[in-house]
Each structure stands twice: as structure tokens, then as C-alpha cells.
């Protein structure tokens, strides 16, 4: 599903406003009330991570997904459906291993730059002991087109597993602007 | 705050009520004061220490209100007034009381009596940031946590920022006099981001 981004009407002086103009304004409000958001989390834990290797985190539980950004067939990804700028938030919780994390954006076929271009951003870090949960988030530093994907991954110092202890891994996207 | 109803206009429509409803929508999203209110958001913080017992998840209090457009602050966290999804953030500086310990932070949702999806009192944890700190005794650490609520919040639901450690420690903003005093006190912020049922 791709939400239609409403067009804000122009209402010059002397113009007789039509119902369509006002409904177009109303559509803007409706869009803001119902803008795309998605949040998924790791409800299973136990995903094996290889030492010194970036492994995308698998998310198997959907909390909210108003724009069909998540697909169970690609459980490491959120796929943008409605073009725009998005805010990412995530946490990756693993066992006692120190790890770094970051987000990877990959362009899809609908991106004018072409598909398969990657951008990494928003790194996190956590020193391991009995728990190690890195978190980060912020505005994705590129305009996102329909089909672009977002994933987050972990690079542990040594082999590790995701855990549900205390805090669980999650990833979310919030549409913020055209 | 009442989420405005988006009106539908028909040809020849002369309803001032519809126009006022549209104005209410603009006011809601403008984040400026309007007769019908603005987007719910809050910013609270604290300037005093709060002692945290070992191995006990504890809600941090944020008694000082910088902004609160919807009357959400309850002194500790916030109580939701307007139904919807919220984006929330917390900054939690603390003082180390030993040379190395676990420090975790997260958010806690507690359902109120008006939430149709949860029994009153049901708690859901979300967000999360945790690490082992190796700082020497008396040094400052800080964790920040951000998330969107994984559920629709209803009036009466509460949201809190919590901390945990394997040893007793102090949430603090004044311990390290040379570095961070007054620069990032414990903060708790949030805003309504979307409608939901």
C-alpha cells in the first residue's frame, strides 16, 4: 500500500473556493492523522550472530504497521511504501558480548539513483557484560522512495545471540515529511 | 485534548462548522496555541538526584515541566490524555558508585482504565538501552533511550522512563562538576505522532 500524499491547494485572492479545494485541505489533515508508522520487535531471541560480522536482526513481531512496510518473508527489513523522509529508531539486545550496531538503507527499483545502493547510518555501541543493548535513532539522511529498505544489524566482538532479557530488539520508522 | 474530526465538504457547502473543523485540524498540527488546542507534547526534567536501589527497575521522576500542551505530566512520568501513538525520548545521566556495573534503561507503559486492549494495570516494556560501564567510581555516565509506543495509548495510560542496575546508583546531573553540570539533566520528552484505535 502506498499512501497518496495530498496536494495542498492554492487559493489565490478572488478565487471562488470549491468543495474540492476544501476537501484537498481536509485530505492534508487526514494524511497527518494517519501518517505511515511501523514498529517491529524481536519476540523470539536466540538469533545467532557471527563475531566481527554485520548481521541484520530478524524481527518477527509487528506492533504497528500502518503502511505495510513489514513482510514476514523479509523479516529483517522495513520497506518504504510512501515516499518521504523518515525517522528511524532501533535497539539491538544481545547477550554478554560487546557490539556495535548500525542501520543500512538500500535503494529499491523506484529510487531514481537506481537499486542496490547502500547507505549506512546511525551507529550504536554497547559494552557487554550480562547484558548488551545498543540503541540509536534519528532522521534517515536520505529521501526514501517506495521500495527502499531499512535494516539494522549488529557486529559483535565474538559470536553472540540476540536476547529478550530486560529489553528486546526493535526497529521503527516514522514518516516525517515529504 | 480532542482529536479534531476532518470534515467533508460538498458543492455549495456553507457550513461554518466544517470550516471550523478544518481550522481545528490546522491548529492541532501547527503546534501553536489555538482555540482547540495544539499537538500533544511534553518536556519534563529533574534537577535533583534520585537514588536507585540495586537490581530494581525504577521509574525516574521528572517533576519540572518545560512544556506540556495536554496536561500529561504527573510528576514522575506522564499520563496520556489524548488517544494515539506517541514518540518518547529520555536522557538518563547517572553517577557510578562502583568501578563497573550494568546500567539499563527502558520505557514502561501501564494501561489505565480506559484502554480497551489491556486490563487496567497491565504493563508493557519497550525501548531499551543497556551497557556495562567501566567508568571509575564517581564518574558520570549517561544513557539515552528513544522509541515509539508499540500500542495505541488511551486516556489514563501512563508512560515512564525507568533505569536498572546491578548495584545501587544515583540518577544525577551535578556529579561531575567539570563536565556536565546543567548540560544534560535527566529529561523526558514526547509527542503525539498518529491517531489509532
For residue range A37-71, what is the model confidence (pLDDT) as tens digits?
A: 999 999 999 999 999 999 999 999 999 999 999 99
For CA atoms B119, B188, A87, B103, give the dihedral sign: negative
Residue B56: list chain A partners with CB under 8 A.
none
Closest Cβ opposite residue B145 in set A39, A63, A135: A135
Q: What is the ipTM of this complex?
A: 0.89
Task: Collect the ranges in chain A with pLDDT lower than 70.
Answer: 1, 130
Instruction: Please check whether residues B49 and B30 belong to one and the same domain.
Output: no
Q: For the residues of chain A, what is the DSSP string, one character each?
A: --PPPPPPPP--TT----HHHHHHHHHHHHHHHT--EEEEE-SS---EE-TTS-EEPP--EEEEETT----TTSTT-EE--S-BEEEEEEEEEESS--EEEEEEEE--TTSTT-TT-EEEEEEEEE--SS-EEEEEEEE-SS-B-TT-EEEEEEEESS-EEB--SSS--EEEEEEEE-
Could you tell me the residue ranges of all domains in chain A? 1-34, 35-177
How do strand A48-49 and strand A78-79 relate by DSSP bridges? unpaired
Instruction: Please check whether residues B163 and B68 belong to one and the same domain.
Output: yes
Q: What is the pLDDT of residue B133?
A: 65
| A64 has a chain B CB within 8 A of its CB | yes
Residue A91: list chain B partners with CB under 8 A.
127-129, 145, 147
CATH number of residue B81's parent domain: 2.60.120.40
Domain tally for chain B? 2
CA distance A3 to A68: 10
Q: What is the pLDDT of residue B179?
A: 52
Instruction: Please check whether residues B75 and B140 belong to one and the same domain.
Output: yes
Q: What is the pLDDT of residue B39?
A: 84
CA distance B108 to A134: 18
Instruction: Please check whether residues B70 and B9 belong to one and the same domain.
Output: no
Q: Apex CA A56: angle with CA A51 and CA A60, to 5°?
A: 125
Instruction: Please check whether residues B161 and B129 belong to one and the same domain.
Output: yes
Instruction: Please check whether residues B30 and B103 belong to one and the same domain.
Output: no
Q: What is the pLDDT of residue B109?
A: 97
Instruction: Please check whether residues B151 and B97 belong to one and the same domain.
Output: yes
pTM of the model: 0.90
Instruction: Please check whether residues B8 and B96 belong to one and the same domain.
Output: no
Q: What is the pLDDT of residue B183?
A: 56
Find, among A110, A59, A119, the residue nearest to A80 by Cα: A110
Instruction: Please check whether residues B128 and B150 belong to one and the same domain.
Output: yes
Q: What is the pLDDT of residue A61?
A: 97
Instruction: Please check whether residues B4 and B83 belong to one and the same domain.
Output: no
Determine whether the interchain pair B6/A172 forms a contact, defined as Cβ–Cβ distance below 8 Å. no
Q: What is the pLDDT of residue A167?
A: 81
Residue ranges making up the domain that contains B116: 40-194
Rg (CA), chain A: 19
| pLDDT tens-digit readout, B57-90 | 999 999 999 999 899 999 999 999 999 999 999 9
Residue B12: list chain A partners with CB under 8 A.
19
Task: Collect the ranges in chain B with pLDDT lower than 50.
Answer: none
Instruction: Please check whether residues B88 and B28 belong to one and the same domain.
Output: no
Describe the crossing of helices A19-33 and B16-30 by its angle, rounded to 10 degrees: 40
Task: Enter the CATH code of domain A35-177.
Answer: 2.60.120.40
Residue A37: list chain B partners with CB under 8 A.
85, 148, 193-194
- What does the DSSP 8-state code read for residue B69? T
Find, among A177, A133, A157, the residue nearest to B147 by Cα: A133
Instruction: Please check whether residues B108 and B149 belong to one and the same domain.
Output: yes
Amino acid at each position: 500500500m502506498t499512501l497518496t500524499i495530498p496536494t495542498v491547494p492554492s487559493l489565490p485572492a478572488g478565487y471562488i473556493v470549491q468543495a474540492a479545494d476544501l476537501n484537498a485541505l481536509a485530505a492534508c489533515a487526514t494524511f497527518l492523522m494517519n501518517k505511515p508508522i511501523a514498529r517491529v520487535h524481536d519476540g523470539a531471541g536466540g538469533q545467532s550472530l557471527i563475531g566481527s560480522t554485520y548481521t541484520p536482526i530478524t524481527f518477527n513481531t509487528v506492533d504497528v504497521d500502518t503502511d505495510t512496510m513489514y513482510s514476514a518473508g523479509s523479516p529483517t527489513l522495513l520497506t518504504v511504501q510512501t515516499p518521504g523522509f523518515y525517522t528511524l529508531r532501533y535497539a539491538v539486545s544481545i547477550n554478554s558480548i560487546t557490539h556495535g550496531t548500525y542501520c543500512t538503507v538500500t535503494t529499491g527499483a523506484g529510487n531514481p539513483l537506481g537499486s542496490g545502493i547502500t547507505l549506512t547510518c546511525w551507529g550504536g555501541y554497547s559494552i557487554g557484560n550480562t547484558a548488551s543493548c545498543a540503541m540509536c535513532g534519528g532522521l534517515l539522511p536520505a529521501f526514501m522512495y517506495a521500495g527502499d529498505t531499512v535494516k539494522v544489524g549488529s557486529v559483535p566482538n565474538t559470536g553472540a545471540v540476540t536476547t529478550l532479557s530486560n529489553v528486546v530488539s526493535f526497529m521503527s520508522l516514522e514518516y516525517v515529511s515529504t | 485534548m480532542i482529536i479534531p474530526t476532518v470534515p467533508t465538504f460538498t458543492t455549495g457547502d456553507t457550513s461554518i462548522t466544517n470550516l471550523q473543523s478544518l481550522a481545528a485540524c490546522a491548529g492541532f498540527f501547527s503546534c501553536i496555541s489555538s482555540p482547540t488546542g495544539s499537538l500533544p507534547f511534553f518536556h519534563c526534567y529533574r534537577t535533583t538526584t534520585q537514588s536507585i536501589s540495586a537490581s530494581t527497575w525504577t521509574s525516574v521522576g521528572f517533576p519540572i515541566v518545560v512544556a506540556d500542551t495536554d496536561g500529561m505530566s504527573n510528576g514522575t512520568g506522564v499520563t496520556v490524555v489524548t488517544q494515539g501513538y506517541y514518540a518518547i525520548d529520555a536522557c538518563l545521566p547517572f553517577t557510578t558508585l562502583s568501578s563497573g556495573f550494568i546500567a539499563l534503561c527502558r520505557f514502561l507503559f501501564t494501561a489505565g482504565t480506559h484502554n480497551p486492549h489491556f486490563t487496567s494495570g497491565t504493563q508493557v516494556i519497550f525501548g531499551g538501552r543497556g551497557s556495562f560501564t567501566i567508568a571509575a567510581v564517581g564518574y558520570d555516565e549517561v544513557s539515552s533511550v528513544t522509541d515509539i509506543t508499540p500500542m495505541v495509548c488511551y486516556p489514563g495510560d501512563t508512560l515512564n522512563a525507568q533505569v536498572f542496575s546491578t548495584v545501587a546508583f544515583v540518577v544525577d546531573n551535578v556529579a561531575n562538576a567539570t563536565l556536565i553540570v546543567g548540560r544534560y539533566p535527566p529529561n523526558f520528552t514526547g509527542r503525539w505522532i498518529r491517531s489509532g484505535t
